[in-house]
Amino acid sequence: MTTIVLADRSNIIRYGLRSLLDSYSDFRIVAEATGAWETIQTISQHKPNVLILDWGMARRGGMEVLRRVRMRSPGTQVILFSLDWKESQFLDTDESMDVELLYCESIGDEVVRVIREGNARPPCLIALTPPVSVPRRRLERFAALAAQ
């Protein structure tokens, strides 16, 4: 059983993710959080297999939430997500070394795929976009960073 914590300010987003993940018998949502500090406390208490974290929440405080989650529960797989690929443009060079950027057409499908692949990868930032809208230079930049 894969235990999951959902962290997003929006009730609607958390409800949608919960509805999707509840349809899988091997996933169990153990808690939800609506803010950065609450996320850190929830991770410390539950030590879930997976944290699905709103990119905007992670970005506050220079990725401090992500650092604290890693310290308090190093075995927790972190999946960051953004419903707007433009937000991923704020991933700076230092952060891009620690975060895998994935563009997709369906956040739900991609989240399930990443959970199933397991914790053998760095934290992922999944950004929702139709592939044709992603600037080619942006993809080439991240491909070059990933190759280093």
Six-digit token string for 58: 């992670």
Contacts of 65 (CB under 8 A, 6+ apart): 36, 39, 40, 53, 57, 58
DSSP 9: S
Rounded CA-CA distance 77/48 in Å is 8
Q: Which of 5, 20, 10 is nearest to 52 (CA)?
A: 5
Confidence (pLDDT) at 18: 95
Going from the first residue of the chain to its last (148 residues), give the mean pLDDT of each consecutive group of 10, the final group possibly shorter: 94 93 96 93 95 83 78 90 64 57 77 83 70 52 53
pLDDT at 125: 76
Q: What are phi and psi of 54, to 5 degrees?
A: -60, 130
CB of 118 closer than 8 Å to CB of 77: yes
- Eight-state DSSP code of residue 19: H
Q: Give the pTM.
A: 0.79
From 40, 136, 140, 129, select the one nearest 87 (Cα to Cα). Answer: 129
Can you tell me which residue has the tokens 């942006």?
A: 138
